[in-house]
Amino acid sequence: MDCSLRRLSTHVLSLAEASASESGLLQKDAKAPAAGGSLKFSTAHKAYLLCSHVSLVMAVVMVCFSLSQGPPSLRQAPLPQASSLVSFGGDGSVRVKAALSSAEVAVVQRTTIDLLKQLFKSNALPVGGRFQKKGALDRLSLEAFMDRISTSLPPVSRCLEWGPYQRYYMSKMPYADRFKCEERWTFDFSADKPRVRKAPLAIMPLLGRDMVYGDLNRPWAEQFAQEELPTFDLVIIPQVFQYVAEPLKAAAVLFEMVNPGGYVAFSVPFLQTIYADGVDYYRYTIEAASMVFKSAGFEVQEQYIGGSPFYATCWLLSCGIDQLTEEDYGDSFLPYTGAYKHKAYMLSMLLLKKPLNGTAMR
């Protein structure tokens, strides 16, 4: 194989254009000169297919360059043919056929970083949730966590689920329905919103369950008449605590909501893109989340993290559930309790309990 960088660069460009043209992915700009028309992607998804071809060839380029610049022992090592390392699927997917040496892995990692740089510069990567047609990846970990603890907890009388005051949320994502609850309530802590301030009652029925409004900066008992003060055997807080501006105050109010011996099923992002400006305040490690609730008087019964490094990387690139298969993510979305030093993960998840003789700490 000729590792002349100029020759390989020319080969990369011609192969990329030929490969993409065969698949109908690239279009010549009609206004550009015939000899050097500019290339453009028709859609972001088509860009992925092109980049899968280019990334392979660029990996070969970088391996050649590394071998030409490395120590004699490395320069003498034969470079495997690209076809012996990977194969392409008809949809642009790439499969590794053989294990790479440590030197080749390092080069491919560097190539991947360079490729990501170029994709970001060309706006070829998905942004936000518009490509997550079947749901966000973090929901796999969250639902697995809820399934796990819902089977271990005893039946309870009254459940409360924290969530926004939205008809979609209350009808499509009822985590409380996974638990053995006789009564199901929903809590909206956005008490400063006009639609909440205008509500005539602090408690009202909505979509078949009771809706309760509250202020997380004020003691719970001050917000209701004593005879209607709602308290709960189980409180579910799924991916909303990052929107709470003062978490220590909120944890103290939460402690008052829970009956002695009651539980809290809690999940919060650690690695996640910003959902909305001005209301998305925090990201929590598992230690930080535990500290917040221990300070209020809760006992941490179980703690989990959700998502592997691969899973977290895909999430930060805005991949959705529809862009991965079970073969891709395996069991990496399952709640994990082992060591997590130097481990990238997405969610911090806790099962909390209020002691039978517990009193809120001040």
Q: What tens digit of pLDDT does each residue of 267-325 get?
A: 999 987 777 777 888 999 999 999 999 999 999 999 998 877 777 777 777 777 777 77
Q: Which residue has the tokens 């970001």?
A: 120
pTM of the entire predicted model: 0.66
- Model pLDDT for residues 206-230, shown as the tens digit of each residue: 555 676 767 777 777 777 666 567 8
pLDDT of residue 219: 76
Which residues make Cβ contacts (< 8 Å) with residue 192, sequence separation at least 6?
none
Q: What is the CATH number of domain 138-353?
A: 3.40.50.150
Which tokens is 243 given? 């929107």
> In sequence order, which residues have a C-beta less than 8 Å from that of residue 255 and are 6 or more positions away?
296, 297, 298, 354, 358, 360, 361
Instruction: Convert the pLDDT of each residue in 100-151 to its tens digit.
Output: 777 777 766 777 777 778 877 877 766 555 555 556 777 788 888 898 898 8
CA distance 336 to 153: 19
- Whether the per-residue pLDDT at 258 is higher than 80: the answer is yes
> Nearest 10 degrees: CA dihedral of 319, 12, 90, 332?
-30
pLDDT score for 360 = 46
In the chain, residues under CATH classification 3.40.50.150 are 138-353
E strand residue ranges, the chain:
26-28, 39-41, 86-88, 94-96, 156-162, 181-188, 203-206, 209-213, 232-238, 258-269, 299-306, 347-353
Q: Quick one: average pLDDT of 244-255?
A: 91
